[in-house]
């Protein structure tokens, strides 16, 4: 035997799932419990009291029924009782037709005793003797028990015998159908995750704070609209009234705030400042909600399963009602039984009574009533499921009531779960919507960020850069802390990988700020902040992955002097960059573009009248079109690095004001066009390093104003005499080539101050080299030099001498005559330095400030 509690456990679900149980599901659960009680009560009664009592139908009675008397009474067969004298036992003779049967006289029960003779008219029996007597049968007790059991199974309709079990089975099926979506693995995990997140969102202090601030903002707006009216009272609710969760849900606290659209009220936030732990939990909730939404919105399995189980319950209701209604009239108190056991009993027909008939009939009618109510609720559920699109959920009402206008609408299973929650309490969805809003998330990040990055902490991160400027570098933060703008003496601000950076009006306090770095940081600025940056910012670095990351306000900084753009700016995206706006940069002097351009954007010419330096660093992409350079007549410095140029572009020869040209890291093999540089009268610096140049044409002698020539990391094998005709040359760098000889004509370069020939194959130093008495830097390392002439002492202004990596066995003592040379500027092996006389070493070890103190 099982108990009601054991069966009712099939209907149990986790208490936290109750928020997904609308009223109709709860009502059907209670109906299922009542039906279980009906089944168990009927089953208990049947097992303990259910029985059938049968009496044989006498033949004469049958005949009398066939031929009724005029008096309306049945003609009973005469019963004669003969008592033999002198015998110990008495014999009873009962006449049934023509064949009397003699049986021993045995005591019978009250119901079957011959002393009680039933009559159809209900009148009292006539007393023939002193004691009343009825019709006698010849059945003993065992025969009555036998026939009762036989007739129970033969005479009673099957529904009367199995009604409790059918009710129990049907009810269990209905219960399983109602809660299957909570048990099915593919939906159970999503529901469990959803309920867990929903409870945490409801209890989160951030939810209370966000909605409280919204309520306060709304009340402030109402005050402004109702100017002169009486101030509104504050209503604070801490009890669990309507709109708040029930006490049966353990994950939700009873205390909460009411949000009423009817009464104007101001909610006093219970938590005005989030501690660090609450902030971290809220940020984790935002991430969980984001991932859960992406996971659940992809399918509608939960919705389909709920619809399916509702349809199954509806069909089950129709099926039960159809076949059960037909059996109501079959349950009767009286039954006629023909067991075909005449050879055992002696009778062919019995009339039986079923003592549970009336009770079963009432229970059946009650069960049918419950099933009807259950079915109508199922039909209502289907109507609700198809009346509105439950796979779409709009937060429009929440957006109207709060300041979070960006809460997105959701779909599929996510939307269906929220619709189900609304049937429990709409406050859950309202609080849940806070964690779908990016505005809410940004506010939380801002609060947490400001708590973590205080003024004192930021001050510790301020450092001095190479230009001796105060610099602050912020990396991978959720935003820009407010305390940053209190560092009024800051010169350089670097913001890197801060996707939600906002520059408020407080930046106007930073009067020393002139340089700003935005590395993958599409910063937004307020109008007042923009006005300040437009007037005070001088240098701006913008590093990006896509041109869309470049803030539009960058092209409106009219007082900007230097602009550095680092990112993807290929020719296909030139239209998107918005370079036409560069015309607003009226004071721009330096434009640095590090990208993968195939042509120079023509819009750069908008700043041509005042641009003095243009730098284009490609990532190896070949720069093909350079016609736009011809319009940049005022450019004094031009760098085209890593652009896969094979020759010197002809457009460069039109830049009459060009002073410095850098073509580093290209694929230039020949420089025959160098003769055209004679038209560039102001050209003083030519950098052709890191190319594939094999020789230097003699026409280089026509570039008479050249002061610096960089030809390192090429494939030169010799230096032509024409190079040494450049009398103004002060710096010559031919390092890392294959040069074997330094021509004697080098002595003609009387103005030469820096000579670099490191990494070549030179073995002898000509004496003419030491006639260049203005030399300050002489790099001779990694060659095949065996000795250093004593004339090196003539280089009185020498401050840097590199000899490391040669075959030198000693250093000349005349190095001591190089008054500006110190040990830090002498790059040699340690054992070579030890070969110098002690007095020379003492001179080289002197402080560098001593010679200058002597006026040298």
Q: How far is CA 623 from the centre of its chain?
A: 42
Instruction: Report the candidate in 715, 717, 786, 778 with the shortest Cα–Cα distance to residue 746.
Output: 778
The CB-side HSE value for 237 (13 A sphere, CA atoms) comes to: 14
Please, which residues bridge with residue 639 across strands? 615, 662
Structural domains for the chain:
2-56+153-183+306-388 (1.20.1440.80), 453-540 (3.80.10.10), 560-666 (3.80.10.10), 686-847 (3.80.10.10)
User: 454 pLDDT exceeds 80?
Assistant: yes
Residues 6+ apart with CB under 8 A from 660: 636, 637, 638, 683, 684, 685, 686, 687
Tell me if residue 110 falls in helix, strand or coil.
coil
Token match 């573009």: residue?
593
Longest dimension (CA), the chain: 177
Extract the tokens encoding 301. 């399995």
pLDDT per position as a tens digit, 299-331:
889 899 999 999 999 999 899 888 888 788 788
Q: Containing H/E element for 709?
A: strand 708-710
Over residues 458-477, the mean pLDDT reads 92
Mean confidence (pLDDT) of the chain: 79
Please, which residues bridge with residue 94 across strands? 79, 101
Token match 């199922």: residue?
378
pLDDT band at 235 (very low <50, low <70, confident <90, very high): very low
The pLDDT value recorded for residue 216 is: 54
The CA angle 724-729-733, to the nearest 5 degrees, is 85
Greatest mean pLDDT among 30-34, 122-126, 447-451, 730-734: 730-734
Cα(833)–Cα(853) distance, integer angstroms: 26
Over residues 709-722, the mean pLDDT reads 94
User: 13 pLDDT exceeds 70?
Assistant: no
Question: How many residues does the structure list for the chain?
Answer: 856
- Residue 817 and residue 823 in contact, taking contact as beta carbons nearer than 8 Å: no
Helices 205-225, 276-296: inter-axial angle, 10-degree rounding: 90
Nearest 5°: phi and psi at 21? -105, 105
> What share of the chain has pLDDT > 70, as a percent?
79
User: 336 pLDDT exceeds 70?
Assistant: yes
Nearest 5°: phi and psi at 492? -130, 130
- Residue 415 and residue 393 in contact, taking contact as beta carbons nearer than 8 Å: yes
The pLDDT value recorded for residue 314 is: 92
Please, which residues bridge with residue 473 across strands? 494
User: 434 pLDDT exceeds 50?
Assistant: yes
User: 72 pLDDT exceeds 50?
Assistant: no
The pLDDT value recorded for residue 339 is: 86
Instruction: Check residues 55 and 245 and name the one with the higher pLDDT.
Output: 55
User: 118 pLDDT exceeds 90?
Assistant: no
Instruction: Report the candidate in 821, 705, 800, 813 with the shortest Cα–Cα distance to residue 758.
Output: 800
pLDDT per position as a tens digit, 750-796:
999 999 999 999 999 999 999 999 999 999 999 999 999 999 999 99
Cα(255)–Cα(265) distance, integer angstroms: 17
Q: Containing H/E element for 585?
A: none
The pLDDT value recorded for residue 96 is: 34
pLDDT per position as a tens digit, 680-709:
999 999 999 999 999 999 999 999 999 999
CA distances from 19 to 27, 248, 631 (A): 14, 10, 72
Low-confidence winner among 24-33, 244-253, 374-383 (lowest mean pLDDT): 244-253
User: Other C-beta atoms within 10 Å of 457: how many?
Assistant: 11
pLDDT band at 15 (very low <50, low <70, confident <90, very high): low
pLDDT per position as a tens digit, 126-160:
444 444 455 677 788 888 888 888 888 888 888 88
Greatest mean pLDDT among 66-75, 151-160, 231-240, 632-641: 632-641
pLDDT band at 244 (very low <50, low <70, confident <90, very high): very low
> What phi-psi label fits residue 411: left (phi over 0), alpha (psi between -120 and 50 degrees) or beta?
beta
The pLDDT value recorded for residue 627 is: 82
Instruction: Check residues 257 and 221 and name the one with the higher pLDDT.
Output: 221
Low-confidence winner among 412-426, 599-613, 626-640, 769-783 (lowest mean pLDDT): 599-613
- Residue 274 and residue 207 in contact, taking contact as beta carbons nearer than 8 Å: no
pLDDT band at 575 (very low <50, low <70, confident <90, very high): very low
Burial of 52 (0-12, 13-18, 19+ CB in 10 A): buried
């Amino acid at each position: 035997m099982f108990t009601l509690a054991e069966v009712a456990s099939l209907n149990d679900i986790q208490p936290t799932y109750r928020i997904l149980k609308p009223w109709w599901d709860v009502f059907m659960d209670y109906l299922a419990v009542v039906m279980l009680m009906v089944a168990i009560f009927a089953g208990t009664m049947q097992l303990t009291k259910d029985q059938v009592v049968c009496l044989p139908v006498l033949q004469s009675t049958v005949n009398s029924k066939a031929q009724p008397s005029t008096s309306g009474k049945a003609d009973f067969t005469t019963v004669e009782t003969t008592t033999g004298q002198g015998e110990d036992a008495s014999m009873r003779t009962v006449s049934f037709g023509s064949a009397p049967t003699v049986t021993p006289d045995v005591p019978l029960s009250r119901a079957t005793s011959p002393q009680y003779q039933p009559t159809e008219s209900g009148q009292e029996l006539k007393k023939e003797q002193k004691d009343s007597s009825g019709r006698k049968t010849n059945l003993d007790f065992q025969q009555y028990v036998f026939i009762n059991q036989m007739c129970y199974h033969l005479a009673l309709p099957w529904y009367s015998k199995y009604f409790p079990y059918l009710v129990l089975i049907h009810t269990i099926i209905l219960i399983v159908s109602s809660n299957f979506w909570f048990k099915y693995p593919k939906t159970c995990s999503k529901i469990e995750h959803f309920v867990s997140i929903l409870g945490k969102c409801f209890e989160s202090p951030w939810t209370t704070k966000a909605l409280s601030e919204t309520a306060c903002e709304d009340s402030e707006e109402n005050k402004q609209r109702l100017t002169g009216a009486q101030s509104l009272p504050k209503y604070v609710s801490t009890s669990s009234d309507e709109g708040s969760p029930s006490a049966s849900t353990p994950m939700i606290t009873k205390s909460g705030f009411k949000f009423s659209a009817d009464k104007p009220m101001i909610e006093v936030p219970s938590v005005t400042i989030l501690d660090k732990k609450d902030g971290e939990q809220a940020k984790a909730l935002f991430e969980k909600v984001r991932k859960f939404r992406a996971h659940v919105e992809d399918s509608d399995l939960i919705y389909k399963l709920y619809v399916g189980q509702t349809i199954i319950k509806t069909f089950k209701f129709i099926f039960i009602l159809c076949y059960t209604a037909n059996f109501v009239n079959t349950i009767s108190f009286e039954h006629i039984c023909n067991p075909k056991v005449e050879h055992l009993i002696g009778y062919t027909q019995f009339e039986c009574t079923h003592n549970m008939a009336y009770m079963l009939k009432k229970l059946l009618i009650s069960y049918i009533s419950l099933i009807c109510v259950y079915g109508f609720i199922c039909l209502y559920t289907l109507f609700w499921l198809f009346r509105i699109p439950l796979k779409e959920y709009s937060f429009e009402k929440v957006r109207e009531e709060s300041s979070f206008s960006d809460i997105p609408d959701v779909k599929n299973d996510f939307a269906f779960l929220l619709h189900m929650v609304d049937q429990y309490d709409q406050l859950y969805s309202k609080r849940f919507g806070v964690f779908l809003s990016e505005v809410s998330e940004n506010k939380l990040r801002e609060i947490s960020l400001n708590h973590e990055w205080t003024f004192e902490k930021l001050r510790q991160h301020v450092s001095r850069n190479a230009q001796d400027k105060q610099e602050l570098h912020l990396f991978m933060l959720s935003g820009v802390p407010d305390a940053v703008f209190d560092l009024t003496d800051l010169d350089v601000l670097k913001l890197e990988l801060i996707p939600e950076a906002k520059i408020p009006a407080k930046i106007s306090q930073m009067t020393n700020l002139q340089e700003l770095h935005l590395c993958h940081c599409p910063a937004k600025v307020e109008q007042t902040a923009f006005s300040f940056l437009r007037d005070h910012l001088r240098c701006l670095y913008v590093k990006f992955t896509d041109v869309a990351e470049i803030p539009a306000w960058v092209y409106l900084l009219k007082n900007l002097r230097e602009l550095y753009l680092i990112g993807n700016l290929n020719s296909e995206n030139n239209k998107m960059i918005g370079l036409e706006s560069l015309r607003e940069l009226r004071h721009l002097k330096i434009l640095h573009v590090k990208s993968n351009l195939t042509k120079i954007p023509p819009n750069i010419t908008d700043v041509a009248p005042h641009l003095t330096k243009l730098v284009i660093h490609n990532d190896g992409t070949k720069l093909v079109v350079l016609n736009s350079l011809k319009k940049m007549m005022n450019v004094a410095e031009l760098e085209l690095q890593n652009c896969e140029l094979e020759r010197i572009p002809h457009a460069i020869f039109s830049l009459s004001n060009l002073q410095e040209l850098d073509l580093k890291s290209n694929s230039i093999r020949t420089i025959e066009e160098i003769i055209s540089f004679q038209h560039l009268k102001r050209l003083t610096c030519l950098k052709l390093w890191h190319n594939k140049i094999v020789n230097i044409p003699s026409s280089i002698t026509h570039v008479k104003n050249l002061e610096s020539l960089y030809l390192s990391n090429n494939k030169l094998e010799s230096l032509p005499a024409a190079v040494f005709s450049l009398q103004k040359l002060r710096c010559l760098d031919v390092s890392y080539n294959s040069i074997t000889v330094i021509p004697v004509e080098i002595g003609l370069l009387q103005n030469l101050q820096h000579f670099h020939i490191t990494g070549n194959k030179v073995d002898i130093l000509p004496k003419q080299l030491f006639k260049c008495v203005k030399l300050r830097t002489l790099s001779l390392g990694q060659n095949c030099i065996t000795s250093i002439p004593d004339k090196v002492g003539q280089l009185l202004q020498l401050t840097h001498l590199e000899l490391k990596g040669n075959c030198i066995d000693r250093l000349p003592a005349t190095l001591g005559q190089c008054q500006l040379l110190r040990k830090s500027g002498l790059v040699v092996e340690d054992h070579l330095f030890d070969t110098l006389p002690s007095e020379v070493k003492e001179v080289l070890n002197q402080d560098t400030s001593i010679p200058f103190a002597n006026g040298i």
